Amino acid sequence: MGRITKAHGLKGGIKLELYTDDPDRRFTPGAVFTLQVPDDSPWSGKTIALDELRWYNSHPVAFFEGIADRSAAETLARAILWVEQDTEEETGEDDAWYDHQLVGLTVLRDGVQVGTVARVDHMPAQDLLAVDTESRGEVLVPFVAAIVPSVDLEAGTVTVTPPTGLFEDPEDMSRPETFTPAPDTAESSAAESSAPDASARDSED
């Protein structure tokens, strides 16, 4: 539902980055959130209940039960807030999914698997799918219709049509294609037979 960014004021207020389009329904007094924090955090495995959500200069600030001062609020910095979700509940929007529905989906490009969705990053300009790949590690894919035209939850797949270079190794793209011209004389054929093979040299490089 959101991410805690930092403490606000001296009375336990905490600034939020909201991941929901319906904060008035999700962030009501008494709402309970599961915390995603590092394993060594004192909040690991715990939940937290909302006391009140306020708005300061259009920024949401939450006050949670048991968080009475700035020091306590700072221990929650960068925590992710989750809620229990009925798998049958709809998002209420076309082409909209919850993060947990996308994480783990197989990413396909031209029908070939290129990676797996690791998480969803919610940025000010647009959302990004963080895709784990074998060849390039983590690749950030803009979650827009032009690049992610299809999400099939039943099949467990996300289809991408990325621009050239997003999933390719830059070294492979910068390497010119090599070819061996067909010899047209016996002399050129003999010369080629004594020269090192171009493709073999590229592979060694």
**Sheet with 127-133, edge to edge strand ranges:** 137-142, 127-133, 112-122, 106-109, 157-159, 150-152
pTM above 0.85, yes or no: no
Q: Kindly state the average pLDDT of the residues 169-177.
A: 52
Position 152 scores a pLDDT of 92
Position 18 scores a pLDDT of 82
Position 35 scores a pLDDT of 86
Coil, helix or strand for 13? strand
Enumerate the β-bridge partners of residue 129.
Answer: 120, 141
Q: Kindly state the average pLDDT of the residues 36-55.
A: 88
Coil, helix or strand for 193? helix
Coil, helix or strand for 9? coil
Position 130 scores a pLDDT of 92
Position 19 scores a pLDDT of 77
Q: Kindly state the average pLDDT of the residues 92-96.
A: 60
Q: Kindly state the average pLDDT of the residues 105-118.
A: 93
> What structural domains and CATH numbers belong to the chain?
2-82 (2.40.30.60), 99-171 (2.30.30.240)
Q: Kindly state the average pLDDT of the residues 50-56.
A: 90
Residue 170: pLDDT band (50, 70, 90) is: low
Is the predicted pLDDT of residue 93 greater than 90, yes or no?
Answer: no
Is the predicted pLDDT of residue 78 greater than 90, yes or no?
Answer: no
Position 120 scores a pLDDT of 87
Position 187 scores a pLDDT of 44
Is the predicted pLDDT of residue 40 greater than 60, yes or no?
Answer: yes
Residue 129: pLDDT band (50, 70, 90) is: very high
Is the predicted pLDDT of residue 158 greater than 90, yes or no?
Answer: yes
Q: Kindly state the average pLDDT of the residues 47-73.
A: 90
